Amino acid sequence: MVMSKIEILYTKAESNSEFVLLYKQPSVLVGRTDVVSVTPWLAPIVWVKTFDPTLINFIYKQQNITIATTVFALGKYTRFLKDFLESAEQYYFVGFRVHYYLFTDQPEAVPDVKLSEEHQLTVRKVPSMDRWQDISMGRMGILEKLTKSELDNDTDYIFCLDVDTKFYGPWGAETLGRLVGVIHPWFYDYKRTKFQYERRPESQAFIPVEEGDYYYTAAAFGGTVQEVYKLTKTCREQQSIDAAKSIEAIWHEESHLNKYLLYNKPSKLLSPEYLWRHIDIRRKHVKMIRLSHVAKNNAEVRLNN
């Protein structure tokens, strides 16, 4: 049989009435070589053309999974919700069960976006806060509570995403894993000594200059519900210890996330395709932009500076 494009055929074989699965043969010799697609601890780093999306989505489809997805929009950040949700409906886990949990201080400002049949949205009201840093860090405690006991029983995986983002390409089952980190779009080609980890030993987020694997973004992370519970609980606890000592890590919860992922290695890493700088910025290794930050004027959109 000649296949003009990669396709999955799930049919009854004529010979023995067993089901067969047909798709392009994988190769051990031919594949993408311009980027590294595995970590030193053998976790995949996901880039376009290192996997077959049709095949992966097909495999996970059999498992009837649900993916919780959290997003926070407080203060003026509610303005990002429309683009975020509309673009997610176009590209994010299309055909899979997704339950968005949207945390906001203004439920009345949540736009009415038409969701596909498999996707649902729950809006949860949270108190307003005065400092954007507290909003950003406070997410860890709210996510800890959510993942501990407040999710639907059938939830398998969860992703936690920044709201000032927009999808431009498919984000599917290739991103699923036990503990998933996303490589930060600004630092992926930096030496570890230049990563903006917290360098003050007094902080719980401290990472010595000679340590570090990658610099991960806090704008997107995920995994199984149990793993994300452990991650968010630890980060919340570490932030509280710092607060009691009047220390705030350089990049807030992102610094604590980086500390956690250094000593609790992610089982899968997503390349900067999965959280890019801006749709108009291009770099040769990033051949597809799936989710990107949108431009924002921090001074105008934040409550404080």
The answer to whether residue 164 forms part of the interface with ligand UD2 (CB under 6 A) is: yes
Distance CA(259)–CA(191), nearest Å, equals: 17
Name which position in 97, 119, 236, 252 contacts ligand UD2 (CB under 6 A). 252
Q: Which amino acid is at 45?
A: I
Write the interaction track for ligand UD2 spanning residues 61-90; mark x where CB under 6 A is met and - where it is not: -----------xxxx-x-------------
The one-letter code for the residue type at 304 is N
Nearer to ligand UD2, 173 or 219 (CB): 219
Contact pick of 84, 159, 251, 276 for ligand UD2 (by CB under 6 A)? 251
238: left (phi over 0), alpha (psi -120 to 50) or beta: alpha
Q: Tell which one of 85, 219, 225, 270 touches ligand UD2 (CB under 6 A).
A: 219
Q: Which is nearer to ligand UD2, 72 or 171 (CB)?
A: 72
The active-site residue, picked from 174, 254, 273, 300, is 254
Q: Give yes or no for residue 229 binding ligand UD2 (CB under 6 A).
A: no
290 close to 274: Cβ distance less than 8 angstroms: yes
The residue count for binding ligand UD2 (CB under 6 A) is 21
Provide the 8-state DSSP code for 47: -
Output 132 or 171, the one with its CB closest to ligand UD2: 132
State yes or no: residue 135 binds ligand UD2 (CB under 6 A). yes
Instruction: Tell me the closest approach of the beta carbon of residue 20 to ligand UD2, in angstroms.
Output: 44
Work out the widest C-alpha separation in the chain, in whole angstroms. Answer: 72
For ligand UD2, the binding residue among 142, 173, 218, 286 (CB under 6 A) is 218
DSSP notation for 139-162: HHHHHHHIIIIIS-TT--EEEEE-
SS3 89: helix
Smallest separation, CB 161 to ligand UD2 (Å): 8
Q: Which segments of 15-174 does DSSP mark as H helices, in order?
A: 53-61, 81-91, 132-145
Is-catalytic flag, 89? no
Q: Does 101 bind ligand UD2 (CB under 6 A)?
A: no
Cα 10 to Cα 62: distance, rounded to the nearest angstrom? 12
Residue 276 CA to residue 11 CA, distance in Å, equals 39
- 113 φ, ψ (degrees, to nearest 5): -105, 130
What residues form DSSP beta bridges with 44?
38
Q: Are residues 282 and 237 in contact, defined by beta-carbon separation less than 8 angstroms?
A: no
Which of these segments, 22-30, 44-52, 141-149, 156-164, binds ligand UD2 (CB under 6 A)? 156-164
Query: Residues 57, 69, 147, 217: which binds ligand UD2 (CB under 6 A)?
Result: 217
Active centre residues (catalytic): 254
Which residues are near ligand UD2 by CB under 6 A?
72-75, 77, 132, 135-136, 162-164, 184, 217-219, 251-254, 302-303
